[in-house]
């Protein structure tokens, strides 16, 4: 039968409505579909708008197959772009007649992906016969050494997001004059602050108080103290941005993404925690939008959640610097002439030395150290 009608034919055949070998029944179905096509009962599922900075994407996978029933707004395919993974959804409830695009192909906004027969009846649950089931689940005898073919290393196409990350990191390395300055910070007072007020914070704001929101607030203070770190090179000019949008690195199964929390200098701790939690949830679910990803004037990456003791993070272009947090480890330090065990963290600031001098970078990182070790400075703005 013509591929145009295969999906619906298989759908009806699975419920015993028609026999795939019955030529007359198939011919009737063809006439029936053509008639409904003229009545406008076939609708297209198309690639949605991807954002101003994205022109195309890769059709990563189909979530359904021809003959499957779908509901309105139900995803039927996923598109990978350079920044996010997005769904192609059915605009109407119905049955998928056929796909008109291929997995792995490049698609653009508005391109047709599937044809949906919107007037089809609701699907009914059915079960396979024991004979069919046994045939489907029959297993192949385990291979022996005599017939075993030499194994080859697995080779799969690189996901589009991974390729984009690779290209951006290499571009960053080739463009910036990157230099890193380090410092270590005593986390005693900040961790005590979070521990002392964690219950009251949750009770009032409905969200936990974590170290990330504290570091974000401290970074805002340091950026205001050293505005050159928040600036960016634009050709032969320097743009001093009067707003602070911080990108927070989030690890997902598909790679690292850096969604942006905007106008963060106007937020309190609770707003920041809610913003971080919301973006982290969307990143995990693959639901980040283009607007969640674009922009950002400064990035914070916390490798400490994976146990990293020290590292040199790479600048997130087109920003000019990135702060790397690391794991908190008990170390012996000298405090007022006494050797004590304290929870210590190494901090790393990677910066573009074309724009930011060593003096400003060191002062920026020292400002973070001062405020983390004595959080009262935030309250008094000193």
At 382 the pLDDT is 86
To the query of whether residue 353 is one of the catalytic residues in this protein, the response is yes
Structure confidence at residue 128 as a pLDDT band (50, 70, 90) = very low
Which residue of the set 36, 205, 353, 366 is catalytic? 353
The predicted pLDDT at position 137 comes to 47
**pLDDT confidence tier of residue 29, bands split at 50, 70 and 90:** low
Concatenate the DSSP letters of all residues of 324-342 into one string: EE---EEEEEEETTEEEEE
Measured distance CA(370)–CA(93) in Å, rounded:
59
Over residues 306-333, the pLDDT tens digits come to 999 999 999 988 899 999 999 999 999 9
**CA 213, CA 219: separation in Å to the nearest integer?**
10
pLDDT classification of 40: cutoffs 50, 70, 90: low
Active site residue 205: no
Q: What is the mean pLDDT of residues 16-43?
A: 58
- 48-88 pLDDT tens trace: 887 666 778 888 888 888 888 899 888 988 888 876 778 88
Domains of the chain in sequence order: 3-123 (2.40.50.100), 160-380 (3.30.559.10)
What's the confidence (pLDDT) of residue 125?
Answer: 41
List, in sequence order, the alpha helices (H) in the chain: 3-14, 23-38, 130-136, 160-175, 188-205, 211-225, 269-284, 290-293, 358-373, 376-380
Q: Tens of pLDDT along 231-254? A: 999 999 999 999 999 999 888 777
Q: Annotated catalytic residue: which of 132, 171, 196, 357?
A: 357
Copy the structure tokens of residue 263: 């106008």
255 — pLDDT class (breaks 50, 70, 90): confident
């Amino acid at each position: 039968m013509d591929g145009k009608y295969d999906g619906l034919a298989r759908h009806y055949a699975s419920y015993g409505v028609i026999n795939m070998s019955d030529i007359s029944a198939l011919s009737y179905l063809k006439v029936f579909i053509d008639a409904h096509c003229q009545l406008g009962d076939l609708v297209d599922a198309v690639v949605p708008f991807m954002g101003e900075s994205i022109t195309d994407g890769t059709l990563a996978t189909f979530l359904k197959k021809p003959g499957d029933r779908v509901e309105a707004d139900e995803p039927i395919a996923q598109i990978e772009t350079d920044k996010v993974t997005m769904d192609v959804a059915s605009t109407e409830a119905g049955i998928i007649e056929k796909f008109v695009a291929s997995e792995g192909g490049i698609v653009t906004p508005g391109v047709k992906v599937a044809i949906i027969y919107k007037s089809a009846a609701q699907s009914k649950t059915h079960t396979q016969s024991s004979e069919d089931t046994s045939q489907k689940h029959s297993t192949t005898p385990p291979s022996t050494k005599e017939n075993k073919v030499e194994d080859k290393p697995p080779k799969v196409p690189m996901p589009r997001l991974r390729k984009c990350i690779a290209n951006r990191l290499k571009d960053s390395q080739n463009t910036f004059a990157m230099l890193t300055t380090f410092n270590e910070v005593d986390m005693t007072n900040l961790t005590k602050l979070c521990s002392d007020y964690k219950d009251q914070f949750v009770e009032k704001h409905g969200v936990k108080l974590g170290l990330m929101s504290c570091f974000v607030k401290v970074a805002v203070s340091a950026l205001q103290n050293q505005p050159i770190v928040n600036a960016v090179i634009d050709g032969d000019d320097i743009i001093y941005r009067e707003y602070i949008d911080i990108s927070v690195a989030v690890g997902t199964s598909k790679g690292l993404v850096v969604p942006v929390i905007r106008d963060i200098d106007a937020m309190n701790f609770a707003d920041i925690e809610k913003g971080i939690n919301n973006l982290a949830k969307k990143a995990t679910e693959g639901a980040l939008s283009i607007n969640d990803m674009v922009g950002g004037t400064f990035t914070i990456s916390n490798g400490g959640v994976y146990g990293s003791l020290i590292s040199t993070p790479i600048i997130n272009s087109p920003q000019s610097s990135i702060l790397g947090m690391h794991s908190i480890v008990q170390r012996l330090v000298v405090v007022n002439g006494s050797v004590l065990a304290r929870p210590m963290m190494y901090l790393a600031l990677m910066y573009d030395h074309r724009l930011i001098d060593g003096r400003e970078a060191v002062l920026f990182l020292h400002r973070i150290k001062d405020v983390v070790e004595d959080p009262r400075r935030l309250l008094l703005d000193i």
